[in-house]
Structure formats: structure tokens, C-alpha cells
Structure 1
Amino acid sequence: MNKTLYFTHKKLEYLELRYSNSNNCYKEHIHNSLSIGAILNGQRTYINKNKSFSLSKNQVAIINPNTIHSCNSNNKIANKLYMLYLSKDWCFNIQKSIFPNIKEFIPFQKELINNKTTYNKFIKLCELLFSNALVSKKEYFLIDFFTSLYKKYNSTFVIEIKDSSIITNITKFLHTNIKEDISLSDLSKEFNLSTFYITKLFKKELNIPVHSYFINLKIEFAKDLLKSRMSISQTALECGFFDQSHFHRNFKKIVAITPKQYQDNFVQ
């Protein structure tokens, strides 16, 4: 039987933890957050941009913010999976405490960590977050784990990102207008760029079409609204889905469960 649980806490607003025991398949998607995952049994095919990995026990998947990815079971056998989502700002603050001279979030250079010690520490952290332990204890071990992780695996080299200012401006515009139905033509007029150039830029820098990126933004926003206990119909409208079935379909493609299942499966 497929099972999915979520952990959030009002004092840990920068994180969301998902536990699932399922063989549900996810369409390739993105998150605004840093995503870190590990499985407890079996194998999954983990795709990060244009790279494919076989994810198994004792490995930790690292997915930088706004990186297209998927992680699906190789067969019909259910896999137990932990996936932790952390806000980019929180991660940057941890990085800044280690590398004081950095000016912005530094992405991980590894998509997959093959280290049993790191894996075991991550699993223990996830178990602690789902437990009834004091929130102060959870926060302490969370900071300790990610401080160690960044010290060991994070590169402080400056990464050159071409056209980053254009991408940043376009994505900010999409965030600001999350309720709207924005087309390539709208973006072309707004930024005085050809639709071809915008399409090429998104493919090159984010490896995802503009419309898919925008749908992902809407679904990420919808998750926040559902966590606040907003009704599903109102959430669909707030995210610019004027057809509720369209919202339901896209939500399930990306999150692999329905909006109602998502809303019902939180552990506070």
C-alpha cells in the first residue's frame, strides 16, 4: 500500500520533509528549494538535468534549487524514501557561516554522494525530525548535519552563470505574476526579447521549457497554500488554474499524489 507523510513545523519554516513508501512515478520537475533524498530499500532511477544515476541504499541524492529532476522506482516494488527540502536562504546562511566571503548561494558540485557515514547521518536526521523530540534538538542536529555536509562537499569556487541576470529577471516576473496565464509572447513583450531567445535561454540555463517552469512555480505555491489549510478549489484559483481538473492533473504529475492527499498527510 502506498504511503506518504510530510513533516513541517512553524518554528522550522525553512524545511519540509517527505517520507514515502510507494512506487509512484514523478514527472521531471523543479523546486525552489535545495532537495536532498535517500532510499531505504531497492533502487530508483535518479535523473538530474541530463545525467542519470541508479540510486540505492548508502547514497544521498543532491538536487540544487531550480534543477530539473526526477527519482522513480525501477519496478513495481515500493521504495521507502526520505526527501528533505530546505529554503535557499537558510542554506546560504549556513554557507555564509562557513565561507564568510561568499555573496550568494553556492550550488553543490555533486549530484550524488556515495558515502555510508553521510547516508546514515541523513537517515537519522530524518527519523529525528519525524519524532516527538524537542524542536530545539531537531534544529541543532539539522544545523550540525548541514554544516558538516557543506564543509565536506560544497565548492567555494565562483561559478560563472551566463545570462543569469536575464533569467533572474524573468523568473522573478513569473513569481510575481503566479496567478496569471503568461505566454512566451507576454514575456517577449515584457523583456523585449524574442520568444526563440527566451526558449533557448531556459533550455540552456535551467534545462526546462518556460511553460513547465511556470507550472512548477504554481504547484510549489499551491503546496504552501494547501499547508495553510486553504481549500483545494480556492488554491486552484489562487494559483491561476481556472479549471480544477487541470490543477489536479498537474499537481499529481509533479507531486505524485493528489492535492487532498498532500493536505491530509502532514505531521506537525
Structure 2
Amino acid sequence: MNQTLYFTDKKLNYLELRYSKSNNCYKEHIHNTLSIGAILNGKRIYTNKNKSFILQKNQLAIVNPSTSHSCNNNSKTANRLYMLYLSKDWCFSVQQSIFPNIKGFIPFSNELINNKTIYNNFIKLCELLFSNSLILEKETLLIEFFTSLYVKYKQEIKIEINDNSIINKIIEYLNYNIKEDISLYDLSKEFNLSTFYITKLFKKELNIPAHSYFINLKIEFAKDLLKNGLSISQTALECGFFDQSHFHRNFKKILAITPKQYQDNFVQ
């Protein structure tokens, strides 16, 4: 039987933790968070941009923000797994405490960490977050874990020096117009770029087509609305989907659960 549980807390509003027992498959998708995943049993096929890995116990999957990825079961046995999503701004604050001279979030060059100790510490962190422990204890262990992670892998963190201001401006525009049905032609007019160039830009920088990226942004926005108790029909409208079935189909395709199943974790 498939099962999905979420942990969130208003005092830890920079994170979301998902536990699932599932053999569902996910379409390639993106998050605007740093995402870290671990499975407790079996194996999964983990893709990150153009790379593919067999993810198993004692490994962590690392997914940088706005990175196309998937993690799908390759057997009929349901996997148990944790997926932790962390605000890019919060991660930057932790990084800056270690590397004071950095000016912005630093992505990991690792897509996969093979380290039993770090894996076990991550599992303990996830178990603690789902427990009834004090917020202070949860936050302390979270900071300790990420501080140790960045210190451990500081030589394997890359600082991106490419000028990606154009793609960032397009992303900002899409976020601002999240309710709209934006076309490549709209983007072309707004940024004085050819539709062909924009298509290549999304493939090069994000490894995901522009329309798929925009759908992902809408789903990320929808998650926040559902968490705050907005009805599914109103959420679909606020996110600019054609109708509720269109919203339902895309939500399930990306998250492998329905909007109602997702909302039931937060709204009682």
C-alpha cells in the first residue's frame, strides 16, 4: 500500500520533509529548493540532468534548485524514502557562515554522496523532524547536519561564474506571471530574443523545456496554496490551469499523488 506523509512547521518555514512508501514513478521535474533524498530499502533509478544513477541505502541524492531530475522505482517492491526540501535562502545563510566571502547560493557539484555516516545522520535528522521533539532540538540538528555537510564537501562545491542573468530574468518573469498562459512568443517579445534561442537556453541552463519548467513553477506555487487551505478548484484557477482536471493531471504527474492527497497532510 502506498503512503505519503509530510512534515512542515511554521517555525521552520524554510523546509518541507516528505516520507513515502511507494512504487510510483515521477515525471522529470524541478524544485526551487535544494532537495536531498535517501531510500531505506531497495533501489531506485535516479536521474539528474543527463546523468543516471542507481540510488540505494547509504547514499544521498543531491538535487540543486531548478535542476531537472527524477527518482523512480525499478521493481514492483515499494521503496521507503525521505525527501527533504530546503529554501535556497536558508541554505545560503548556512553556506555564508562557513564561506563568509560568497555572494550567493553555491550549488553542489555532487549529484550523489556515498557516505554511510552522512546517510545515517540524515536519516536521524528526518526521524527527529517527524517526531514530537522540541523545535529547538530539530533546528539545532538540522544546522549541525548541513554545516558538517558543507564543511565535508567544501572542496567539491563549485561556484558558478557563468553569466546566467538572462535565464534568471526569464524565471523571475514566469514567477511574476504564474497565473498566465505564457508562450515562447510572449517571452520572445518581452526579452527581445528569438524563440529558438530561448528554447536552447532552457535546455542548456536547466535541461528542461520552457513549458515544462513553467508547469513546475505552477505546481510549486500550488503546493503553497494547498498547504494554506485554499480549495483545489480555486488553486487551479490561481495557478492558471485551464480547469481542475488539467491541474489534477499535471500535479499527479509531477508529485505522484493527487492535490487532495497532498492537501490532506496539512489541512485537518
Q: Does 1:21 align with 2:21?
A: yes
Q: How large is the Cα RMSD of the aligned pairs?
A: 1.2
- Residue aligned with 1:168, SS: helix
What are the within-5 Å matches in structure 2 for residues 53-132 of structure 1?
A: 53-132=53-132
Q: Does 1:237 align with 2:245?
A: no
Q: Which residue of 1 aligns with 2:162?
A: 161
- Residue aligned with 2:106, SS: coil
Q: Does 1:42 align with 2:42?
A: yes
Alpha-carbon distance between aligned partners in 2 of 1:117 and 1:3, rounded to the nearest angstrom = 27
Are the equivalent residues in 1 in contact too, given 2:107–2:159 (CA < 8 A)? no
Unaligned runs of 5+ in 2: none
How many pairs does the alignment contain?
267
Alpha-carbon distance between aligned partners in 1 of 2:145 and 2:257, rounded to the nearest angstrom = 29
Q: Which residue of 2 aligns with 1:2?
A: 2
Are the equivalent residues in 2 in contact too, given 1:5–1:267 (CA < 8 A)? no
Alpha-carbon distance between aligned partners in 2 of 1:81 and 1:266, rounded to the nearest angstrom = 19
Give the deviation of 1:157 after TM superposition. 4.7
Are the equivalent residues in 1 in contact too, given 2:121–2:145 (CA < 8 A)? yes
TM-score between the two structures when normalised by the length of structure 1: 0.98
Give the deviation of 1:76 after TM superposition. 1.2
- Residue aligned with 1:19, SS: strand
Give the deviation of 1:153 after TM superposition. 1.4
Give the deviation of 1:160 after TM superposition. 2.5
Q: Which portions of structure 1, spanning 4 or more consecutive aligned residues, are displaced by more than 6 angstroms? A: none
Amino acid at match of 2:159: V
Alpha-carbon distance between aligned partners in 2 of 1:249 and 1:69, rounded to the nearest angstrom = 19
User: Which fold has the larger relative contact order, with Cα–Cα distance below 8 Å and residues 6 or more apart in sequence?
Assistant: 1
- Residue aligned with 2:204, SS: helix
Alpha-carbon distance between aligned partners in 1 of 2:118 and 2:200, rounded to the nearest angstrom = 37
Alpha-carbon distance between aligned partners in 2 of 1:123 and 1:142, rounded to the nearest angstrom = 11
Q: Deviations over 1:125-165 (max 9, x none)?
A: 00000000001100000000000001111445532324x01
Q: Which residue of 1 aligns with 2:248?
A: 248
Amino acid at match of 1:3: Q
Unaligned runs of 5+ in 1: none
Q: Deviations over 1:202-229 (max 9, x none)?
A: 1001000000000000000000000001
Amino acid at match of 1:195: T
